[in-house]
Amino acid sequence: MGLDARSNVIVGRIKYVRIKEVESVLTFDFGDSYHNPTCAITLKGSPAGDTGNYYGGTNYYGGTNYYNEGFTFANRVSSRGFSPTGRGPGFFFSVEVSAKVAFRIVEIEIPAS
């Protein structure tokens, strides 16, 4: 049995990797409704200064700089919750990101209640 979008409140999570901060918009299209609710979700970027050292340039393997230090948020999955307004027998949704920076959405989860 799937999610009954007529009687249950839809609650979901978007899971992403922190790269750069971007604004994403989820738009829901419910079957019986003229209203298409949206959820604006800010996908946070890595904190300032979380760039780490890399092999090459003025840093080198050895000495006082350790190869591959930093990058606390590299490949770490973060998540943000969302809950659109609206009801209907079913729905479709789309995600829009209007940014010229890198981002990575890993999963969008809407569990059946």
Give the structural domain span for 43.
12-47+74-109
Domain-embedded: residue 61: no
The residue among 40, 68, 64 whose CA lies nearest residue 56 is 68
Domain-embedded: residue 85: yes
Domain-embedded: residue 19: yes
Domain-embedded: residue 29: yes
Domain-embedded: residue 69: no
Domain-embedded: residue 96: yes
Per-residue pLDDT tens digits of the chain, which is 113 residues long:
577 778 888 899 999 988 889 999 999 998 877 888 999 999 988 776 555 544 545 554 555 554 445 556 666 889 999 999 888 888 899 999 988 888 899 999 998 76
Q: Which amino acid is at 54?
A: Y
Q: What is the pLDDT of residue 57?
A: 52
Domain-embedded: residue 64: no
Q: What's the structural domain count of the chain?
A: 1
The first and second tokens of residue 79, run together, are 């998540």
Domain-embedded: residue 4: no
Q: Could you tell me where the beta strands, DSSP code E, fall in 44-98?
A: 77-82, 91-97
The residue among 5, 44, 50, 1 whose CA lies nearest residue 24 is 44
